[in-house]
Amino acid sequence: MNSFLDIGTILALGIALAVIVVILKTARIVPQRSNFVVERLGKYSKTLDSGFHILIPFIDKVAYQHTLKEEVIDVAQQDCVTKDNIQVGIDGVLYIQVIDAHKASYGVDNYRNAASQLAQTTMRSVIGQTDLDKTFEERAKINEVVVQALDEAAAPWGIKVLRYEISDIALPESIKDALEQQMRAERERRAAIAKSEGERQAMINVSEGQKQEVINLSEGEKLKQINEAEGRAKEIELIAVATADGLRKIASAIQEPGGKDAVSLRIAEQYVGEFGKLAKTNNTLILPAELSNIGGAVAGLSEVLKKAGS
């Protein structure tokens, strides 16, 4: 009886295990952004997208599993020779993505290794056509050329080359020393040019300042002369106006009673005074013919004033 139970238990366990295996072989869940390649009796059958799928046990088999996410592949350092025969070490990073799981499974044995090797050979070819200086200046252009070549070559493998980035360029020590000397000389050249430009600009500024100073001085002298001329003209005008006004007042005073006698007296006084000054300042004395008749001279002047007044 116990033996019968033991055999029944073993059979039940065997059947349960077989059911579990069948379920595992039959039901497959494909994760998001993944593809499973199914083979039926060793031959490609279909590609499973993300989700739940039922397979035929022991006939269908998941042969390959691929992620459709973007993958990053580190391309090992390689020695490349530039167009000007300089050996450099290039490190790179490759970004790829599986777009066709069927081709990625059967188009190449290992698409990751194949893409890495292809990136190395392509980079050696591109660097061989580029001078050392250009490898630093045109790094983006070199990356673009490598991506284009890789994408064309990897199309039969069902992968898409998204981009390639040069992560490092290793130079020999001798080349580093030469480049440092070149950069030092370039910096000194730029410093000398900047200094000469500064001195030139300073000289230009000084000359401009002197020129402006001369212009300002001439403008000031011009304004000074104009102001002085205007002042002299104004002075002459005021003197003329005052003289004319004074003459008018004298003429008016002469016409008043006793005015002519006062003028005659004033003329006589000035005549005598001026003659006295002449006698003091000169050794040679010139005497007028009418000196004995001062009154006649004064009368003559008075007569002139009468005519002017009339």
At 129-152, the pLDDT tens digits run: 888 878 877 888 888 988 998 889
Q: How far apart are the first and last CA of the chain?
A: 184
pLDDT, average across residues 145-165: 90
pLDDT, average across residues 265-278: 66
What tens digit of pLDDT does each residue of 11-44 get?
777 777 877 777 777 888 899 999 999 999 989 9
Sort residue 120 into left (φ over 0), alpha (ψ -120 to 50) or beta: alpha
What tens digit of pLDDT does each residue of 96-121 get?
999 999 999 998 889 999 999 999 98
**Looking at the predicted structure, is the pLDDT value of residue 90 above 50?**
yes
From the CB of residue 75, how many other CB atoms can be counted at a distance below 10 Å? 22
Let me know how long the chain is: 310
pLDDT, average across residues 154-160: 91
Q: How far apart, in whole angstroms, are the C-alpha atoms of residue 110 and residue 250?
A: 133
Highest mean pLDDT range out of 204-213, 256-265, 297-306? Answer: 204-213
**Looking at the predicted structure, is the pLDDT value of residue 85 above 90?**
no
Question: Could you give the 3-state DSSP secondary structure of residue 133?
Answer: helix
Question: Could you give the 3-state DSSP secondary structure of residue 93?
Answer: strand
pLDDT, average across residues 238-264: 72
Using alpha carbons, list the distances in angstroms from residue 65 to 35, 101, 165.
6, 8, 27
Question: Could you give the 3-state DSSP secondary structure of residue 291?
Answer: helix
**Looking at the predicted structure, is the pLDDT value of residue 285 above 90?**
no
Beta-sheet pairing, 159-170 with 34-40: unpaired
Compute the mean pLDDT over every residue in the chain, rounded to the nearest whole number. 81
Q: How far apart, in whole angstroms, are the C-alpha atoms of residue 220 and residue 228?
A: 12
Nearest CA to 48 among 60, 96, 106, 57?
60
- Residue given tokens 């777009």 in the structure block: 99
Least confident of 125-139, 214-228, 271-285: 271-285
Q: How far apart, in whole angstroms, are the C-alpha atoms of residue 260 and residue 266?
A: 10
Q: What's residue 1's pLDDT?
A: 47
Q: 276 vs 297, which has greater pLDDT?
A: 276
**Looking at the predicted structure, is the pLDDT value of residue 197 above 70?**
yes
Cβ neighbours of residue 231 closer than 8 Å, sequence gap 6 or more: none
The stretches of the chain forming alpha helices (DSSP H) are 2-26, 101-106, 111-128, 132-137, 139-154, 173-254, 259-281, 294-309
Highest mean pLDDT range out of 136-140, 177-181, 300-304? Answer: 136-140
278 pLDDT band, cuts 50/70/90, is low
Q: How far apart, in whole angstroms, are the C-alpha atoms of residue 204 and residue 220?
A: 24
Q: What's residue 280's pLDDT?
A: 61
**Looking at the predicted structure, is the pLDDT value of residue 170 above 60?**
yes
Cβ neighbours of residue 255 closer than 8 Å, sequence gap 6 or more: 309
Give just the sign of the alpha carbon dihedral 225, 230, 236, 238. negative
Q: Tell me which amino acid residue 214 is.
A: V
Alpha carbon 146 to its chain's center: 32
Q: What's residue 288's pLDDT?
A: 56
pLDDT, average across residues 279-296: 55
pLDDT, average across residues 67-79: 90
